[in-house]
Chain A
């Protein structure tokens, strides 16, 4: 089995996807992720030369909405755990 993904790469994925992982978790994940990625290599066995990708299964196009105002829902901010007046607050940006 090839090593598809190193612990360092897993840390990078953890940063990209904003999910903090402990050392233990990285230890546990590494073989699991590698095994699954190894399985994904099955895809490489299929010849897809000149085959276009299908991103949308139903051949629909040009689905639009009219440029007409629909009333807003300002109360949604009540779902946010941290608010300052009408603003939603988040931790600072460095």
Chain B
């Protein structure tokens, strides 16, 4: 039975300085509860919403990046329902249907695996408040409300049910997060900035909605569980109910929410306090021109223009900081392929080891380029370069300085190396005998020379000298 998954993602526009309808600072994380509030976002009587002009700009940017069709005139609608996280007991949102027009319709996202996931619509709306419990939602006697988040600008992205597997869902979300990060409109690493609900159906079966999914990994888990659950029901001849289920992260199951006898009715109608917004073509073009290059294009450019291996290109293009670092290196003259290898390989693993973030000041494109130059000029070996890179990340010193201070310059003076090779031959007679029969023992001898030179011996030259000497031994 084929699986159809659709996602509904809410992303905070974290780069806006203020909330969607009031001038409260949007930078609330880490602050005391209810300190980023005002009469407007608290829904006090007599207050009126005032639309943030930059939210429109960000919305248009998102729509462009998702290849979505921006509507020439959009309106805001009220979604009416009561809940403790709602300051007005209605949410100012958008509606697609009747006289309602969201900011954009249609669109798609290309996954790296080559699949295209279609977007149904994009809309702008306000975030509700945050609910906190002492204990768990089941045991707490009351709910505590923090309105800092109430009124934060959200962009809601709804996909068509094109996603076929839980893994694809995760890939889609990662791709979306990367795109939003590249646009600079939403920082997916901020807690709670991206939330997702999923819809899933199997074959001709009905759609089940899954809410309360806290991370991308959980999305995959929740969907996997749900597929299993629905398959089992089908196998037993039981019809899957159309319902909303809640993902219980601790128990790793979806749970049916209490079946209400009464069904919610949102009674959408146009928001009287917000005037319609016309989005002229020239405005859209202005936003388009200011858009940064997006991951897809970057990856293609790296591969096509610079011959960067695809795997490297994928990793580099996904991260704004990595791609920035990489492009800067190339801009400073580094060979793109070499640079990509070193960044994706050693640099990233050293950063993990040292627990350094990518934007740490010690991570410098100039240093990387310098190091690559030293290798190219034959002054240090690749092995030494790894050490130099590590130290540069630890201390922030430039590679040249480190090489100088520690005297790490590659030894490629033939005379010196000759003498060292002779020394090694003298001290390792058995290995020499083995080496004349077995090629692998040659590496052992090379290794010994490296040891004596603390890795500084030019490996190619050393290898040549050893083989020459071996051939002389054979003869002699």
Contact = CB atoms under 8 A, between A and B. Distances in A.
A61 B278 contact: yes
A51 to B, nearest CB: 12
A92 B143 contact: yes
Contacts of B275: 56, 60-63
A73 B50 contact: no
Interface string B77-89: 0000010100001
B142 A76 contact: no
Contacts of B137: 93
Contact of A89 (B25, B51, B144, B147): B144
A72 B24 contact: yes
B18 interface: yes
B53 A64 contact: yes
Interface stretch (B30-38, B191-199, B324-332, B402-410): B30-38
A74 interface: yes
A1 interface: no
Interface residues of A, number: 37
Contacts of A62: 275, 277-278
Contacts of A60: 275
A74 B23 contact: no
Given A65-B23, A69-B25, A88 B276 contact: no
A7 interface: no
A86 B33 contact: yes
User: Which one of B16, B33, B146, B258 has the greatest number of beta carbons of chain A within 10 Å?
Assistant: B33
B454 interface: no
B146 A70 contact: no
Given A86-B35, A89-B145, A92-B143, A66 B53 contact: yes
A69 B37 contact: no
B23 A68 contact: yes
A12 B278 CA distance: 38
B56 interface: yes
Contacts of B36: 72
Given A68-B17, A86-B32, A76 B42 contact: yes
B439 interface: no
Given A62-B275, A92-B142, A94-B258, 10 more contacts: A15-B262, A16-B267, A55-B99, A68-B17, A70-B18, A73-B37, A73-B39, A77-B37, A86-B146, A91-B142
Interface of B: 16-18, 22-25, 32-39, 42, 44, 50-56, 73, 75, 82, 84, 89, 99, 131-132, 137, 140-147, 258, 262, 265, 267, 270, 272, 274-278
8 contacts: A55-B75, A65-B23, A67-B52, A76-B37, A89-B143, A90-B143, A91-B143, A92-B142
> Nearest 7 pairs between A and B by C-beta?
A70-B23, A64-B53, A87-B144, A67-B54, A65-B50, A55-B270, A86-B33
